[in-house]
């Protein structure tokens, strides 16, 4: 049977991978790191033309279905890993057919939750991860995606200015609908709650999580955070016609949680004394879109918020409030952001993403200023940060191996 490769990004180097060998037995020379994670399937990370790719061995129909689903999610601008291709028609050296492989691109600077926990955490990280997952789940649900297997294991996290942004990794059980019912959303949340509690209990059993933390309490947080965000994004609000400022207020609140309102339904009652408003179409990424428009920088939502704040400060400090925003932004980019992020020596560049580094430097400056009881210029802050803090950070550009066990559930040989 001929090998069949479906990919949106043809790369001849794909042909050099040992497709006639079961994924489990791929030689080290191809691998980016040792494979790990809780998975029902065999997963390996390979190096290919300077990229890191995740390869999952799975039946062909399931591989194609997941590939298409991930493409759909990307098309809908949902935060999910990028599908790279499907390789099918594999035959082993003994002539026996092998399962297909689903290939996804490794998301740069993303971290599996187990890697985060094995680093020794700042207190509260577990709740920040849950918060990020709640945002992801709300976004997916707004798009009509029922996940079916919501868990920390099926999510990747990127640092986002002190908090995290979550990305969907595993769409195997997911389904897209025109919209979700309340029952479908409740079902996903119930699955999330149980899985998260199980995952945190497992971390405790492995001495990776403070035994004082209660997994059940943390896992319930997914429900409360999700419900609060869902209500903010979808609830109908009613007020008197005299309180029209509340329309603005609602939009401002949505922006504050990172969403733009693309469509707001406004209706009045028969005699026109009451107004009710309900967001109909909301779009995540309010701050990151604004930053992208102003500077061309494509960064996380939290990072964008941080950078925009610094931009505003720059504008105030240089007394440029009356100048065109785009022009000031360009100046800030070339005079502040780029020089600072370029100060990182090449050998330390795999530690943090540039935008996250910038955020860290701003934090560091604040601590320095507090210690010295005096303003600290950002140039001095970056110098000190690169010398004293950055070298102590772990490399996070391509964290794929963590200390866990792969445990596929496989059919027993008869």
Partner 1 sequence: MATVKYDESTRIYPGNDAPSVDRLNIDIADGEFLVLVGPSGSGKSTALRMLAGLEEVNGGKIWIGDRDVTNLSPKDRDVAMVFQNYALYPHMSVADNMGFALKIAGVDKGEIRKRVEEAAKILDLEPYLERKPKALSGGQRQRVAMGRAIVRSPQVFLMDEPLSNLDAKLRVQTRTQIASLQRRLGVTTVYVTHDQVEAMTMGDRIAVLKDGILQQVATPREMYDSPANVFVAGFIGSPAMNLVSVPVTDGGVKFGSHTLPVSRDALAGGGSNVIVGVRPEDVEVTSGEGLELTVDVVEELGADAYVYGTPTDENIRLEGGDDALAKPFIARVDGRRVPMKGDKVFVQPNADHMHVFNADSGARLSG
Interface residue list for partner 1 (CB under 8 A): 38, 40, 58-59, 62, 99, 148-149, 151, 153, 172-173, 181-184, 186-187, 190-191, 193-195, 197-199, 201-203, 205-206, 216, 219, 404-405, 407-412
CB 201, min distance to partner 1, A = 6
Tokens for 57, please give them: 């061995």
Give the containing element (helix H, strand E) for 6.
Answer: strand 4-7
User: Could you give the CA distance from residue 373 to residue 380 in angstroms, rounded to a whole number?
Assistant: 15
CB 173, min distance to partner 1, A = 5
CB 400, min distance to partner 1, A = 17
CB 9, min distance to partner 1, A = 26
Q: Which is nearer to partner 1, 202 or 232 (CB)?
A: 202
Q: Which is nearer to partner 1, 180 or 291 (CB)?
A: 180
CB 58, min distance to partner 1, A = 7
| Interior/surface letters 61-83, b for 16+ CB within 10 angstroms, e for the rest | eebbbbbebbebbeeeebbbbbb
Q: Do the beta carbons of residue 320 and residue 328 sit within 8 Å?
A: yes
Q: Which residues pair with 176 in a beta bridge?
A: 145
Q: Which is nearer to partner 1, 52 or 58 (CB)?
A: 58
3-state per-residue secondary structure call for 364-403: HHHHHHHHHCCCCCHHHHHHHHHHHHHHHCCCCCCCCCCC
Radius of gyration over every alpha carbon of the chain, rounded to an integer in angstroms: 24
CB 198, min distance to partner 1, A = 5
Q: Which residues pair with 168 in a beta bridge?
A: 80, 155
Q: Do the beta carbons of residue 125 and residue 116 sit within 8 Å?
A: yes
Q: Which is nearer to partner 1, 215 or 354 (CB)?
A: 215
CB 378, min distance to partner 1, A = 43
Q: Which is nearer to partner 1, 51 or 187 (CB)?
A: 187
CB 177, min distance to partner 1, A = 10
Q: Which residues pair with 87 in a beta bridge?
A: 5, 101
Q: How is 93-134 classified by DSSP, letter by letter?
A: TTS-B--EEEEEE--TTEEEHHHHHHT-PPTTHHHHHHHHHH
Q: Which is nearer to partner 1, 183 or 345 (CB)?
A: 183
Residue 90 has phi, psi (to 5 degrees) of: -75, 140
Q: Which is nearer to partner 1, 202 or 331 (CB)?
A: 202
Q: Which is nearer to partner 1, 205 or 235 (CB)?
A: 205
């Amino acid at each position: 049977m001929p090998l069949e490769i479906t990919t949106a990004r043809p790369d001849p180097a794909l042909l050099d991978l040992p497709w006639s060998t079961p994924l489990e037995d791929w030689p080290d020379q191809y691998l980016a790191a040792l494979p790990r994670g809780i998975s029902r399937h065999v997963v390996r990370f390979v190096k290919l033309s300077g990229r890191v790719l995740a390869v999952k061995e799975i039946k062909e129909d399931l591989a194609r279905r997941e590939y298409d689903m991930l493409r759909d999610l990307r098309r809908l601008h949902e935060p999910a890993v990028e599908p790279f291709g499907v390789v099918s028609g594999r035959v082993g050296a003994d002539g026996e057919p092998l399962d297909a492989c689903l290939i996804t691109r490794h998301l740069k600077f993303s971290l599996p939750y187990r890697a985060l926990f094995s680093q020794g955490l700042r207190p509260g990280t577990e709740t920040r991860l849950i918060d990020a997952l709640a945002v992801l789940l709300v976004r997916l649900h707004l798009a009509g995606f029922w996940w079916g297997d919501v868990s920390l294991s099926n999510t990747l996290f990127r640092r986002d200015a002190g908090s995290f942004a979550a990305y969907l990794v595993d769409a195997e059980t997911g389904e897209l609908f025109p919209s979700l019912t309340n029952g479908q959303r409740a079902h996903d949340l119930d699955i999330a709650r149980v899985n998260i509690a199980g995952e945190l209990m497992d971390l405790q059993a492995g001495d990776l999580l403070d035994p004082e933390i209660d997994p059940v309490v943390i896992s319930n947080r997914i429900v409360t955070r999700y419900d609060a965000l869902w209500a903010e994004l979808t609830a109908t609000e009613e007020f008197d016609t005299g309180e029209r400022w509340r329309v603005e207020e609602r939009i401002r609140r949505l922006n504050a949680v990172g969403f733009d309102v693309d469509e707001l339904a406004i209706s009045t009652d028969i005699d026109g004394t009451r107004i009710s408003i309900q967001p109909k179409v909301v779009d995540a990424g309010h701050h990151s879109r604004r930053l992208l428009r102003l500077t061309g920088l494509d960064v996380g939502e939290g990072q964008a918020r941080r950078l925009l704040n610094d931009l505003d400060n720059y504008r105030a400090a240089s007394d440029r409030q009356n100048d065109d925003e785009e022009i000031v932004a360009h100046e800030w980019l070339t005079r502040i952001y780029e020089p600072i992020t370029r100060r990182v020596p090449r050998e330390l560049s795999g530690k943090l993403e540039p935008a996250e580094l910038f955020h860290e430097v701003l934090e560091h400056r604040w601590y320095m200023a507090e210690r010295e009881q005096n303003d600290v210029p950002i140039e001095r802050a970056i110098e000190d940060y690169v010398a004293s803090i950055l070298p102590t950070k772990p490399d996070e550009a391509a964290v794929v191996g963590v200390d866990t066990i792969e445990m596929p559930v496989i059919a027993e040989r008869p």
